[in-house]
């Protein structure tokens, strides 16, 4: 006599097969998965306004600080205004969330440590228009 596909034995076999497949899956933590990977470094040796700082500002700041919207009377659209803000200490203060400064970007997480290091390096170098 033929048993229908939906018999208990068939269902049990399918369940056991599914469990065997799932049991083969393992959770690996990031430390174990990436322990042999080289450390990611932040290169601050070639920071320029045009290729480093301006793109960071475009990605994180200019949506709120431009010629149309000057939140806090801060316009970061052109080099002269960025240089003025950088030279005053405001740029590094706000992006590094230093005490006494408003945290920027407002309501969002702090910029990546590498982006902050690049901004600091550029400001420390005199905020050149390069």
- Summarised one tens digit per residue, pLDDT across range 15-26 is 666 666 655 555
Helix ranges restricted to H, 52-105: 54-60, 79-87, 90-95
How confident is the model over 84-130, as pLDDT tens digits? 999 999 999 999 999 999 999 999 999 999 999 999 999 999 999 99
pTM here is 0.69
Name the 3-class secondary structure at 35: coil
Three-point CA angle 26, 30, 35, nearest 5°: 110
């Amino acid at each position: 006599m033929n048993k229908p596909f939906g018999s208990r034995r068939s269902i049990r076999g399918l369940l056991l097969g599914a469990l065997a497949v799932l049991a083969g899956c393992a959770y690996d933590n990031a430390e174990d998965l990436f322990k042999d990977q080289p450390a990611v470094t932040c290169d601050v040796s070639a920071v320029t306004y045009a290729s480093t700082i301006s793109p960071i500002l475009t990605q994180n700041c200019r949506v709120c600080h431009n010629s149309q919207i000057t939140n806090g009377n801060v316009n970061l659209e052109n080099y002269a205004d960025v240089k003025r803000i950088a030279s005053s200490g405001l740029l590094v203060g706000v992006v590094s969330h230093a005490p006494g400064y408003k945290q920027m970007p407002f309501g969002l997480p702090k910029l990546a440590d590498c982006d902050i290091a690049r901004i600091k390096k550029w400001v420390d170098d005199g905020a050149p228009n390069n």
